[in-house]
Amino acid sequence: MLFKEVIGQESIKENLIQTVVNERISHAQMFQGKLGSGSFSLALAYAQFVFCSNKEENDSCGACPSCLKINTLTHPDLHFSFPVQILGNLKKSDDFISEFREMMISNPYSTEQDWYGKNENENKKGIIGVDESKELFRKLSLKSYEGGYKVAIIWLAENMNIASANKLLKLIEEPPEKTLLFLVVEDLEKILATIISRTQIIRLKSLSEVQISNQLANHHGVDEAKAIEISTYVNGDFAMALHEVSSQDNSQVFFDLFVSWMRLCFKKDVVGAVAFSANIQKLGKEKQKAFLLFVLNLFQKSLLGNFSGMENVKITPSHKEFIEKFMPYVHERNMEALHTDMSQAYYHIDRNANAKILFLDLSFILFKLIKK
Ligand SMILES: [Zn+2]
């Protein structure tokens, strides 16, 4: 993976490139953030740049023998550890490496759910067990095949159990010569404090809406209006954006929910609001958050349509008709309150508030706010 193929994260890329150019690469680094912000992609591009034998100023060459081996994730000095759903004697990453390679080559923004789904068992959590840490320890203690660095990328290192994490800690404290450990982590709270304190942490930011919509439109063949729409509610998470493209349905599901919600708010339909809130509860937290962003975005589009005419609003044609009728109800007198209430709802959902109560409350607020 070339740096230029990683979406955004420009200042992090520059820093990483400088560490190689100045030969000051920290031996233990943690790429922390959502997988959909590109943590694995960055770690992989970094490893490729370390190995590339014909580096350009700001990227790997993409064509030298090392780069070609990285493309297929088969470089002999690049090792991967990742959570596995232990199956009898199959407990180490290498037992599942061909499936892992296949997934990451087709989509380096793959998520933990994608991984378990690939093995047709989405609900069983994988672990990086002590057998895997021992194996990693063994591999990294050997001489490198090509005389340079040995790199291990530990994908979702928070899935290490205690024994395994302690073994990793040993590796970090007494690294074999020319060994680099890149931990890819979503949830820092699940990592041992002793590991955190000995690791350089690289925090990834969520991607911008423009970065996501451009990537979808330019590299994934998504229609521009659709790409823009998806980018508005995936919260800077490119993995989630890709899921939206492949399912395609969420935005229609969300739109239908939005229409029925607004209709019952017009009518001040309390019974309807109770049923709606119960329905929303079933979506689960991540979709509830995405739905709130989706609704907020439609409020903003309505306001824009209201002020400057529908021709300036980028919206899916099938949604246009409803928004044209709805937009007089969003204006400068209620927009700020709508924004505040939706944002607060998002905040509370993110902190595990009861969705049923929260959406019911929010409905009562909308009863009052949505007026001409
Ligand atoms: Zn190269």
Could you tell me the domains of the chain? Answer: 3-203 (3.40.50.300), 249-369 (1.20.272)
Q: Do you know the residue count of the chain?
A: 372
Which tokens sit at 96? 């599942």
Q: Distance between CA atoms of 177 and 211, rounded to whole angstroms?
A: 39
Neighbour tally for 207: CB within 10 Å: 26
Q: 355 CA distance to ligand 1 centroid (A)?
A: 50
Q: 237 CA distance to ligand 1 centroid (A)?
A: 29
Query: What pLDDT score does 249 carry?
Result: 64
Q: 86 CA distance to ligand 1 centroid (A)?
A: 36
Query: What pLDDT score does 114 carry?
Result: 87
At residue 150, the 3 state secondary structure works out as: strand
Query: What pLDDT score does 248 carry?
Result: 63
Q: 311 CA distance to ligand 1 centroid (A)?
A: 47
Q: 228 CA distance to ligand 1 centroid (A)?
A: 34
Q: 50 CA distance to ligand 1 centroid (A)?
A: 9
Name the residue with tokens 């740096």: 3
Listed in sequence order, the DSSP H helices in the chain are 10-21, 39-51, 65-71, 97-106, 112-118, 130-141, 162-173, 193-196, 209-219, 224-231, 238-247, 250-266, 270-281, 285-308, 317-326, 335-350, 355-369
Name the residue with tokens 């095949």: 145
Query: Which residues, chain by chain, have CB under 5 Å from ion ligand 1?
Result: 52, 54, 60-61, 64, 67
pLDDT along the chain (372 residues), means of 10: 96 96 95 96 97 95 93 94 88 92 92 82 82 94 90 96 94 93 95 95 96 94 88 92 79 89 95 95 84 90 89 81 92 93 91 93 95 76
**pLDDT tens digits for 35-52?**
999 999 999 999 999 999
Q: 242 CA distance to ligand 1 centroid (A)?
A: 28
**Nearest Cα to 47, choosing from 23, 74, 69, 78?**
78
Query: What pLDDT score does 121 carry?
Result: 67
Q: What is the pTM of this model?
A: 0.76
Query: What pLDDT score does 336 carry?
Result: 93
Query: What pLDDT score does 226 carry?
Result: 87
Query: What pLDDT score does 267 carry?
Result: 94
Q: How far is CA 265 from CA 23, 130, 271, 343, 363, in A?
A: 61, 55, 11, 19, 6
